[in-house]
Amino acid sequence: MKYLIAHRGLDNHKYKENSIKAVLNTIDKEYISGIEIDLRFTKDKKIVMYHNLLYNLKSINNLNYKELKNIDLFENLLKEIKTNKIILLDIKCENDNYKVFMKSLLKLLRKYPLNYYICSFNYNLIKSLMNKTKYPLGIFITDIINKNKNYNNLSFLALSKNSYDDIKFKLKFVWTINDKKDINKYEYIITNKAYLLK
């Protein structure tokens, strides 16, 4: 069986990535197994759906939410979404100031119980969550990032397709697959174009 996970909530690019509209447009489609979204923390402790570190050349974590235009709050999505499909959360935090972020996130997830998977490039962030949450935890791995970390206590890995075959693990998501010729190589697929792979 193939599991298609919509990268940044996108399927057909009709809506902006990491937006409530994109996720709600995608999540109920029969061929979609789940969504992946990026989360960041603002200066005033709001969790927003946004991929890039910078917004108008300033770091998101140094900006208050009211300074961000057309960026959705994660909680506003959770108020709208009803699903048992996979919600893969990519936690974007490039430094070690993640404790308050994670405390706020876990509180929010408990308030809106869904099928969450928590993942990050920040290995120490994920490690800090062990024994603190029931949600599956994983890390992103590329040829140069997190390749040699100890991941035996993790629930899953999210791998770039270039590093996928090198690592043996029970549950592996692979990103970003957008071509039908690649689909039979993988089981859990993170894609921007699920409609082409269904």
pLDDT at 168 over 90: no
Q: What is the per-residue pLDDT for 189? A: 97
In this prediction, residues 29-38 reach a mean pLDDT of: 97
Domain that holds residue 157: 3-197
pLDDT digits (tens, 9 = 90+) for 98-143: 999 999 999 999 999 999 999 999 999 999 999 899 999 999 999 8
CATH number where 153 lies: 3.20.20.190
User: CA dist 44 to 47, 123, 160, Å?
Assistant: 9, 24, 33
pLDDT digits (tens, 9 = 90+) for 181-198: 888 889 999 999 999 998
Q: How many domains does the chain have?
A: 1
Structure tokens at 9: 């909530």
Structure tokens at 80: 């709208």
Q: Where are the beta strands (DSSP E) in 27-178?
A: 34-41, 47-49, 54-55, 58-59, 86-91, 115-120, 137-141, 156-160, 172-175
What is the share, in percent, of the chain residues with pLDDT greater than 70?
Answer: 100
Is the C-alpha dihedral spanning 183, 90, 136, 20 positive or negative? negative
pLDDT digits (tens, 9 = 90+) for 59-100: 999 999 999 999 999 999 999 999 999 999 999 998 888 999
Structure tokens at 158: 């999210």
Kindly report the three-state secondary structure assignment for every residue of 18-46: CCHHHHHHHHCCCCCCEEEEEEEECCCCC
**pTM, whole model, 2 decimals?**
0.96
